[in-house]
């Protein structure tokens, strides 16, 4: 238990709490007073930390994401399930115009969406917000995003070992959340450099 705490960066009290709450599976009893934990426990605790500390999710959302990973029959299904549980429902319904824009992007890329997911509505709602505030995402920009993210997702996916379903699912969910700040910071650096390049400005 002490080793588990050291390797996960969590306190013993927190780990015991997660065990009681069923967020962490039990270890194997070894003799009267000892319990054996393995790498799967360390990984699970790191995932919980990523979801709570980094992504700032509430514990009931974390529980729901973990249940999704455990119940999924494949890791792509686990990723879809986690995404569905991570995205809050938009407060207002998106416009038909923006939904049509999203469908256009999906068509042009040959992308499909899982039933029960909310990406279509979430994306359309985001486009509505941009439009409401006086800007517009035209199809050229939307396709640029689609193209860029298709490349990114292909490289990200190639890093996963599909033979270990649960491990791949955990890594994929962590990747979605933890790599977002990396990607967005790279985007801001790229924007500043593109802006200076467009003006022929040096630093």
Window 102 to 121, contacts with a second copy (CB under 8 A) = 105-106, 109, 111-114, 117, 119
Here the tokens at position 126 are 């985001």
Stretch that binds a second copy, among 10-18, 29-37, 63-71, 138-146 (CB under 8 A): 138-146
Stretch that binds a second copy, among 15-23, 30-38, 60-68, 191-199 (CB under 8 A): 191-199
Positions in 11-40 near a second copy (CB under 8 A): none
Terminal-residue alpha carbon distance, the chain: 52
Q: Which is nearer to a second copy, 29 or 93 (CB)?
A: 93
Contacts of 25 (CB under 8 A, 6+ apart): 40, 41, 44
Here the tokens at position 15 are 């780990």
Stretch that binds a second copy, among 14-22, 24-32, 62-70, 74-82 (CB under 8 A): 74-82
Can you give the C-alpha Rg of the chain in angstroms?
Answer: 21
Q: Which is nearer to a second copy, 35 or 176 (CB)?
A: 176
Backbone phi and psi for residue 144, each to the nearest 5 degrees, phi listed first: -65, -40
Which position among 21, 26, 71, 181 is part of the footprint of a second copy (CB under 8 A)?
181
Which position among 13, 56, 155, 163 is part of the footprint of a second copy (CB under 8 A)?
155
Which position among 12, 29, 97, 190 is part of the footprint of a second copy (CB under 8 A)?
190
User: What does the alpha-carbon distance between residue 19 and residue 35 come to, in Å, rounded to a whole number?
Assistant: 13
Q: Is 149 helix (H, G, I), strand (E, B) or coil?
A: helix
User: What does the alpha-carbon distance between residue 182 and residue 47 come to, in Å, rounded to a whole number?
Assistant: 17
Q: Does 97 bind a second copy (CB under 8 A)?
A: no
């Amino acid at each position: 238990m002490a080793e588990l705490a050291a390797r996960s960066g969590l306190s013993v009290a927190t780990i015991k709490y997660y065990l009681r709450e069923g967020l962490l599976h039990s270890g194997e009893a070894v003799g009267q007073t000892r319990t054996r934990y393995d790498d799967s426990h360390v990984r699970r605790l790191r995932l919980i930390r990523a979801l709570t500390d980094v992504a700032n999710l509430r514990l009931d959302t974390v529980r729901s994401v973990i249940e999704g990973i455990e119940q999924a029959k494949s890791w792509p299904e686990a990723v879809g399930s986690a995404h569905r549980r991570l995205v809050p429902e938009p407060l207002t319904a998106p416009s038909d115009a923006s939904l049509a824009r999203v469908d256009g992007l999906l068509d042009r890329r040959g992308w499909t969406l899982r039933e029960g997911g909310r990406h279509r509505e979430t994306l359309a709602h985001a486009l509505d917000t941009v439009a409401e505030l006086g800007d517009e995402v035209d199809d050229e920009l939307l396709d640029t995003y689609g193209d860029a993210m298709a490349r990114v997702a292909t490289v990200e996916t190639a890093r996963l070992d599909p033979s270990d379903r649960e491990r791949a699912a955990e890594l994929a969910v962590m990747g979605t959340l933890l790599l977002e700040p990396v990607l967005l910071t790279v985007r801001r650096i790229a924007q500043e450099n593109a802006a200076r390049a467009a003006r022929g400005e040096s630093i």
